[in-house]
């Protein structure tokens, strides 16, 4: 069975051998490179970044649904780390949803996950009408990604309310970087992992034996409300929107250190 593209970065000194590996899962349209700014502030930790199906160097790989996507992530981690190696699983947006789904459905059972960190990940929709509306919305986006020049679609994509905290320069930078994606690959991943197909994970998350930490930006009104009403431990990062690790990488790195320090 194939594994996803990944990059392992060891800790800078041998003094940190007892530290867990930080494993990063990016969001839709992203890649391993999305975490580069954050990793500069975490050089005392070993880190593993993964390109999800349809993204980056894993662009030719497909997943059929959440279970398949999580299985590919688990195989990739197992191929790079020893079975007993403690790890912290960190997911942003789509990566966060996959991390949560995998935790609830046992996808990480063969891994030594000590902490789950979710950045701007949606727990799931509560009712069927909301799921149907979201499915129609995701299908419309997927159809555009599959059939139109990706740069044109991204101009519309980054006008969505969740990205309202971005200024024009930040928005254009994202459009430029994300234009390397292949629209058909993004469309396939959207259809396989649509929020409409995801169960409401929050009740089961609250019963998980591992610590869960939620991170979101002060200006991300939608996900801040979700986080604060969830009952999960939450860190709000000031002067940041939906993508905290891009907008304030040093602050995001510090947020990761907080739950790790509590485990010692």
* Domain parsing of the chain, residue ranges: 6-124+199-257
Whether the predicted model's global pTM rises above the 0.85 cut: yes
The larger pLDDT score, comparing residue 260 to residue 48, is at: 48
Whole-number Cα distances in Å, 261 to 20, 34, 115: 11, 25, 12
Distance separating alpha carbons of residues 242 and 80, to the nearest angstrom: 30
* Residue 159: predicted pLDDT: 94
Residue 119's pLDDT band, with cuts at 50, 70 and 90, is very high
* Residue 260: predicted pLDDT: 79
Whether the predicted pLDDT of 144 surpasses 90: yes
Architecture of domain 6-124+199-257: 3-Layer(aba) Sandwich (3.40)
Phi, psi at 171, each rounded to 5°: -65, -45
* Residue 77: predicted pLDDT: 99
Residue 46's pLDDT band, with cuts at 50, 70 and 90, is very high
Question: pLDDT tens across 28-37, in order?
Answer: 999 999 999 9
Whether the predicted pLDDT of 264 surpasses 60: no
Average the pLDDT over 142-160 and give the result.
97
Q: Which of 98, 93, 20 is nearest to 66 (CA)?
A: 98
């Amino acid at each position: 069975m194939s594994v996803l593209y990944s990059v392992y970065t060891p800790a800078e000194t041998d003094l940190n051998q007892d530290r867990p590996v930080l494993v990063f899962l990016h969001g839709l349209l992203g890649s391993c490179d999305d975490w580069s700014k954050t990793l500069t502030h975490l050089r005392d930790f070993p880190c593993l970044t993964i390109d999800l199906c349809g993204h980056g160097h894993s662009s030719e790989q497909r997943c059929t649904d959440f279970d398949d996507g999580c299985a590919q992530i688990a195989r990739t981690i197992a191929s790079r780390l020893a079975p007993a190696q403690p790890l912290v699983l960190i997911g942003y947006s789509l990566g966060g949803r996959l991390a949560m789904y995998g935790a609830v459905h046992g996808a990480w059972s063969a891994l030594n996950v000590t902490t789950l960190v979710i950045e701007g990940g949606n727990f799931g929709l509560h009712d069927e009408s909301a799921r149907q509306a979201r499915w129609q919305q995701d299908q419309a986006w997927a159809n555009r990604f599959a059939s139109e020049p990706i740069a044109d679609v991204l101009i519309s994509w980054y006008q969505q309310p969740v990205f309202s905290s971005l200024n024009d320069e930040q928005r254009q930078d994202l459009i430029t970087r994300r234009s390397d994606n292949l629209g058909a690959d993004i469309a396939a991943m959207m259809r396989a992992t649509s929020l409409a197909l995801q169960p409401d994970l929050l009740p089961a998350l609250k019963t998980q034996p591992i610590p869960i930490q939620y991170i979101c930006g002060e200006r991300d009104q939608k996900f801040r409300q979700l986080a604060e009403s969830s009952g999960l431990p939450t860190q709000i990062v000031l002067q940041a929107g939906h993508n905290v690790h891009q907008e304030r990488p040093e602050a995001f790195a510090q947020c990761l250190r907080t739950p790790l320090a509590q485990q010692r």
